[in-house]
Structure 1
């Protein structure tokens, strides 16, 4: 500031306090509505490593028909059909990773608006629920989307799910349309489930443009198994 000149706002910035809103706002979709509705029923069974049998009432019985009460026959009938389903328990993990320094630098109100470690544990559980909720939108084989077109590291996804079942940072595996050839894994760096129905990955597995490909949850130790995705 020149000698004799009036002070302006730039000259006083060093003495001003910076206002920080003490609320961290969620800026991405993290719904778990279907999972929540299922859990509200409270219909939980504790099982061993063996298959669980679930008796099912499949089709109704009886034959509604007109007859004559003046000595007419009521006709033959039928009965309800029953069957059984078998359910295999599967195990899912959702690792989060935080360096120790994060704990030391955010463990009080003097340092941060929230304890990032505590919040990240809560975030991890909420995102895990959202992840399981996405799996419930599939037909049970772990397929989170079908690739219609490939342009570099950008995939255009087939509707109706489009890119709705993935999130930024998720690991995926890409299989051919027969689910027999694993084309490789990648990390999702961007997803547009609203307009373009595209996802962008960090490294694109080798894909043939004219063939439909599916991507499933997980990478590394996860392997596709008929009717489910299994992660060790």
Structure 2
């Protein structure tokens, strides 16, 4: 009886959108040391602040969304009344996970003396009016396969996964007018009207890569 050998395991390399891809694009060498060499970060406070700012902004968005149809929570937000309760909530969550705030955060009170509070307050009051109205969904799980064209690659595909916030999800057809002789220009005009009050839309309006997406007449797109 002829027995066949067991086929080799076929493993598709899997990478995280933020932990791997963005980290590699930021600094190749740092990615190699920390992700492949297991070298711990030289400044653990970076990990705490990343979790702190992300969690606080998400809570700020949920709070804004709750009152967005009223005039009870307009910008700018008062730090003592609106932002500090969010900071206390997030720092408490991080302590449960074993992430304690740095001494500078504990020993200094308020955005005037505390750089972490100052950055959060600035992020909410500067970007909140432009960012929050565009958010379609938060903490969305994504996963997809991409083809590897390199003949020496260990796999034909690689996988990308991650958790992202969808800043905007729009049907381009909403902006297009089929009766218009120049639908692309009509779309840009619509964006231009929005760009007068929204800095993010203004950036997209002047971004050549984004204009090309509209010019290709995609049926749907998302900004993450």
Q: Same fold (TM over 0.5)?
A: no
Larger relative helix fraction: 2
Q: TM-score, normalised by structure 1?
A: 0.20
Q: TM-score, normalised by structure 2?
A: 0.21
Query: Max radius of gyration: which structure?
Result: 1
Larger relative strand fraction: 1
Structure number with greater CO (CA < 8 Å, separation at least 6) is 2
